[in-house]
Amino acid sequence: EAQVTQNPRYLITVTGKKLTVTCSQNMNHEYMSWYRQDPGLGLRQIYYSMNVEVTDKGDVPEGYKVSRKEKRNFPLILESPSPNQTSLYFCASSRLAGFTDTQYFGPGTRLTVL
């Protein structure tokens, strides 16, 4: 089954404690991206990757890092989380870059930073 998986689905952590949210897709998609969703602000893109070892900043990259060492995986790293990073996070992938193709979303990760 074609899917995008994210882990963990829920996470409560404390300020400053490094964390990683994993994202994996099994569709051999080249394009992957991370979004955060906050009430009243909709979805905002954090980072995206056009292919292995190619990543770029989205609209709200501050406080986040990503890596794309393998085509299927695109982890999101918060080196020193802060309460303003409390949000619902989505990973997405597509065959072609950006929104020029159908997007497949992961189930979301609800992060709370205390």
Nearest to 111 by CA among 13, 29, 6, 38: 13
For residue 2, state whether it binds other proteins (rule: CB under 8 A).
Answer: no
- Which of 22, 86, 103, 112 touches other proteins by CB under 8 A? 103
8 belongs to the binding site for other proteins (CB under 8 A): no
User: Measuring CA to CA, which residue among 84, 107, 99 is closest to residue 45?
Assistant: 99
Cβ proximity to other proteins, 15 vs 59, nearer residue: 59
Q: DSSP label at 27?
A: S
Q: Is the dihedral of CA 31, 26, 74, 54 positive or negative?
A: negative
52 Cβ contact partners less than 8 Å away, ≥ 6 residues apart: 68, 69, 70, 71
10 binds other proteins (CB under 8 A): no
Name residues contacting other proteins, limited to 69-98 (CB under 8 A): 88, 90, 92, 97-98
Least separation in angstroms between residue 86's CB and other proteins is 15
Closest approach of other proteins to the CB of residue 100, in Å: 6
How far the first Cα of the chain sits from its last, in Å, is 36
Interface residue with other proteins among 2, 12, 43, 114 (CB under 8 A) is 43
Residue 27 engages other proteins in binding (rule: CB under 8 A): no
